[in-house]
Amino acid sequence: MKKIAMLLVTAGTIGMLSGCGIPEEEHNMIIEDLKTQHQEEVDKLKGEIEEQKELVSNEKKKVRQGRIELDDATERIQDLQQKSAQTSKELAAEKSKVSKLESELKITKAKLTAAEERATEAETALNTLDVEHQELKRRFEMFKKNMSSISTAPASAPVAVEAAPVVEAAPASAPAPAAPKTDAEKASSLLEQMGTL
């Protein structure tokens, strides 16, 4: 714009001088020079305008590309937000499951501890019962040996029978009294009873 203003000032000056005795040929040469300069300036400005248009076009392309990328990024963000919300729900559900499983595990551990205590008590009772059984068995074996030694002992010497007074015979219907058992018979009877236990 500054150059165009200078050209206009120059043209005005030439116009003023043309009426002051400047030859026509010189006047025409000046006019041609001015036209040439003007055309050069116009061509230069057109070139700059084309360059600016190209720059504007490139910037528009960049803007369109940026808009596309921005839209894609916005869509991805929305998808991620939806996935994040879903993930948060799933995470909350998993945390709830974990809490429930931890509670059930505590209950199971408590039951296991109680069962182990009962098993220990039962094992202790079993061991005590086994000890008592072994002691009874040992005593029974000793008793059998004692009874066996008693049954195999030699008979005692016969004792002289003194004359007893005559007793009136009992009636025929009354049963005779049973003879008392010897020690060997008592031991054998006791062994038979214990053997049936």
For the chain, which residues make up each domain, given as ranges? 2-145
Q: Tens digit of pLDDT for each residue in 63-116?
A: 999 999 999 999 999 888 888 888 888 889 989 999 999 999 999 999 999 999
Compute CA 108 distance to the chain's CA centroid, rounded to the nearest angstrom.
17
The model carries a pTM of 0.35
Rounded to an integer, what distance in angstroms lies between the CA atom of residue 18 and that of residue 10?
A: 12
CA–CA separation, 64 and 72 (whole Å): 12
Q: At what angle do helices 24-151 and 183-195 cross, to 10 degrees?
A: 160
Q: What would the pLDDT profile of 144-161 be if each residue is shown by its tens digit?
A: 888 888 877 655 444 444
pLDDT score of 145: 86
The whole-angstrom separation of Cα 23 and Cα 29 is 10
Residues 6+ apart with CB under 8 A from 187: 147, 150, 151
d(CA 50, CA 36): 21
Residue 22 host element (H or E) = none
Residue 136 has pLDDT above 60, yes or no: yes
Choose between 129 and 159: higher pLDDT.
Answer: 129
- pLDDT at residue 2 greater than cutoff 70: no
Contact 147, 187 (CB under 8 A): yes
Residues 6+ apart with CB under 8 A from 194: 140, 143
Torsion angle of C-alpha atoms 56, 59, 61, 65, degrees rounded to 10: -160
